[in-house]
Amino acid sequence: MSFKIPYGRQHITEDDVQAVVAALKSDFLTQGPRILAFEQAFAQYVGAKYAVAVANGTAALHLCALAVGVEAGSKVITTPITFSASANCVGYCGGEVVFADVDPKTALLDIEKVKVLLEKSPKGTYQGIIPVDFAGYPINLEKFRQLADEYELWIIEDACHAPGGYFVDSKEQQQYCGNGLYADLAIFSFHPVKHIACGEGGMITTNDKVLYDQLVQLRSHGITKSPGLLRENHGGWYYEMHNLGYNYRLTDLQAALGVSQLQRADERIARRREIAEKYDKAFANTSVGVMPMPAQQGVHAYHLYVIQVNDRKGLYDDLRQHQIFAQVHYIPVHLQPYYTQFGWKAGDFPQAEQYYSRCLSLPMFPTLSNEEQDFVIEKVLKFCQ
Ligand SMILES: *Cc1c(COP(=O)(O)O)cnc(C)c1O
């Protein structure tokens, strides 16, 4: 067979192409009506009150960290099993990242480990937590909220892997990732390997009007033209810069693609779940470890399908020979040379490190064909026998 199968791939339809062409022919290439349309549609999709479209997921994290007030001396807790941007946003604002280990069953930030950290230090030592819905597994934010309230912490949910996923809370309610009920802020990415592709793009969601207003300003240089916010007013041209903001705007071309992509988001999640189920079945009762989410706990968004194997490098190399480009998510962030300079080292987080030594993300994207998936399964099982 002559497939070339990546671990993730965008799905662009003819409707998506037409939506971008229409934006190109319109009056606005940026700062036009499609931004608001995308924000409103996205807020509705995840069940949040407000959404702020930004240039990418990393910019979203940076603005969130600014909005909650991360600064020199701030200490923020996050997971080592994530893309480094989840941690880097703290450093952008001069704060300090403190990692806590993951739960081996899910590879998500382990709330018990976070508790231990919090109990060890006087109240006020930490300012916030950045939990990640790793791989698309929705983290139980109700429990994190209780803990955060006890210690007066904010929560920024990194939901890049999980638009469309939800967990079930203690009142049996479905809580969609990024709906803003338990987290103060949530962020998403529209990089092509994520669920919704804009080329580059990001979104922040929240139910907090004050944070929302701040984020809108910070996205565009900290500038406002809102009559209610101006301290003076010299005329129609007048604006004021109130904060040291950035240009983290999304373009209308990207927003047009986002709006169009969003229309098929549920369809694509359904397909991802179908693919996951087939993998689960194929690997049941084999030496290939899988990490499914118990159905009664909610819905996994399956950005990634991660298996655990003893000879991970062997399997990775073998699959590549068959043109199957599996990936590793993630090298623990605390072991990156940038972070080891602050004293983090191998052995700090045994669960995260054990997980990393065995994890491999198999191809998982909505346009993966049955034939391609059969081929992947066959090669994995053959190697792992
Ligand atoms: C992709 C990703 C980001 C960063 O998003 P970009 O749009 O690439 O900047 C942050 N956190 C996680 C968990 C991600 O997967």
123 flagged as catalytic = no
Within this chain, do residues 242 and 317 fall inside the same structural domain, yes or no? no
Cis peptide, bond prior to residue 166, ω within 30 of zero: no
Residue 213 is assigned to a structural domain of this protein: yes
d(CA 178, CA 165) in angstroms, rounded, equals: 9
Residue 248 is assigned to a structural domain of this protein: yes
Q: Is 202 close to ligand 1, i.e. is its CB under 6 Å away?
A: yes
By most ligand atoms within 8 Å of CB, the mutation choice from 7, 10, 54, 58 for ligand 1 is: 58
Within this chain, do residues 258 and 292 fall inside the same structural domain, yes or no? no
d(CA 324, CA 158) in angstroms, rounded, equals: 28
DSSP 348-377: S-HHHHHHHHHEEEEP--TT--HHHHHHHH
- Provide the 8-state DSSP code for 140: -
DSSP 291-337: -PPPGGGEE---S-EEEE-SSHHHHHHHHHHTTEE-B-----GGGSH
Residue 330 is assigned to a structural domain of this protein: yes
d(CA 290, CA 158) in angstroms, rounded, equals: 23
15 CA → ligand 1 middle, Å: 26
Residue 104 is assigned to a structural domain of this protein: yes
- Structural domain ending residue among the three candidates 232, 262, 292: 262
Residue 344 is assigned to a structural domain of this protein: yes
Q: Atom 5 (ligand 1): residue with closest C-alpha?
A: 57
303 CA → ligand 1 middle, Å: 12
- Provide the 8-state DSSP code for 149: H
56 CA → ligand 1 middle, Å: 8
Q: Is 189 close to ligand 1, i.e. is its CB under 6 Å away?
A: yes
Within this chain, do residues 202 and 296 fall inside the same structural domain, yes or no? no
Kindly report the CATH number assigned to the domain that includes residue 46. 3.40.640.10
Within this chain, do residues 207 and 67 fall inside the same structural domain, yes or no? yes
Supply φ then ψ for residue 272, to 5 degrees: -60, -40
261, 196 contact by CB (below 8 A): yes
DSSP three-state, residue 383: helix
Report the pLDDT value the prediction gives residue 113, as an integer from 0 to 100.
98
d(CA 3, CA 6) in angstroms, rounded, equals: 10
Work out how many domains the chain is built from and give that number: 2
Within this chain, do residues 257 and 272 fall inside the same structural domain, yes or no? no
d(CA 195, CA 269) in angstroms, rounded, equals: 8
Ligand 1, residue 58: give the atom nearest the CA.
9
Residue 221 is assigned to a structural domain of this protein: yes
- Structural domain ending residue among the three candidates 210, 237, 262: 262
Report the pLDDT value the prediction gives residue 280, as an integer from 0 to 100.
97
Record the tokens describing residue 296, joined without a space. 């009664």
Note the pLDDT tens digit of each residue in 62-109. 999 999 999 999 999 999 999 999 999 999 999 999 999 999 999 999
d(CA 177, CA 314) in angstroms, rounded, equals: 35
Kindly report the CATH number assigned to the domain that includes residue 380. 3.90.1150.10
Counting residues of the chain whose pLDDT is more than 70, the rounded percentage is 99
Amino acid, single-letter form, for residue 231: R
Q: Is 160 close to ligand 1, i.e. is its CB under 6 Å away?
A: yes
18 CA → ligand 1 middle, Å: 27
Ligand 1, residue 194: give the atom nearest the CA.
1
d(CA 231, CA 251) in angstroms, rounded, equals: 29
Residue 1 is assigned to a structural domain of this protein: no
Q: Which domain holds residue 168?
A: 6-262
355, 309 contact by CB (below 8 A): no
Report the pLDDT value the prediction gives residue 295, as an integer from 0 to 100.
87
Amino acid, single-letter form, for residue 10: Q
Residue 143: C-alpha distances to residues 139, 167, 290, 298, 301 (Å):
9, 11, 25, 15, 20
Ligand 1, residue 85: give the atom nearest the CA.
10
Within this chain, do residues 111 and 240 fall inside the same structural domain, yes or no? yes
Report the pLDDT value the prediction gives residue 59, as an integer from 0 to 100.
98
Q: Which of 4, 123, 194, 225 is catalytic?
A: 194
Within this chain, do residues 16 and 147 fall inside the same structural domain, yes or no? yes
Within this chain, do residues 123 and 140 fall inside the same structural domain, yes or no? yes
Ligand 1, residue 200: give the atom nearest the CA.
7
- Structural domain ending residue among the three candidates 224, 245, 262: 262
Report the pLDDT value the prediction gives residue 385, as an integer from 0 to 100.
86
Q: Is 86 close to ligand 1, i.e. is its CB under 6 Å away?
A: yes
R_g (Cα) of the chain, nearest Å: 21
Q: Is 58 close to ligand 1, i.e. is its CB under 6 Å away?
A: yes
* Residue keyed to tokens 């409103």: 40
Ligand 1, residue 193: give the atom nearest the CA.
1
Record the tokens describing residue 289, joined without a space. 């470890």
Counting residues of the chain whose pLDDT is more than 90, the rounded percentage is 97
d(CA 103, CA 106) in angstroms, rounded, equals: 6
Within this chain, do residues 154 and 291 fall inside the same structural domain, yes or no? no
Within this chain, do residues 231 and 256 fall inside the same structural domain, yes or no? yes
d(CA 148, CA 102) in angstroms, rounded, equals: 18
Q: Is 168 close to ligand 1, i.e. is its CB under 6 Å away?
A: no
The mean pLDDT values, 10 residues at a time, for the chain of 385 residues are: 83 97 96 97 98 98 98 98 98 98 97 98 97 98 98 98 98 98 98 96 98 97 94 96 97 98 97 98 97 92 98 98 98 98 98 98 97 98 95
How buried is residue 243: exposed, middle or buried, by Cβ count under 10 Å (0-12/13-18/19+)? middle
Within this chain, do residues 68 and 36 fall inside the same structural domain, yes or no? yes
Within this chain, do residues 195 and 74 fall inside the same structural domain, yes or no? yes
Record the tokens describing residue 266, joined without a space. 């549920």
Q: Is 165 close to ligand 1, i.e. is its CB under 6 Å away?
A: no
Please list, in sequence order, all residues whose beta carbon lies within 8 angstroms of the beta carbon of residue 27, skipping any fewer than 6 positions away.
none
d(CA 151, CA 134) in angstroms, rounded, equals: 24
d(CA 311, CA 317) in angstroms, rounded, equals: 10
CA angle 196, 130, 63 (to 5 degrees): 65
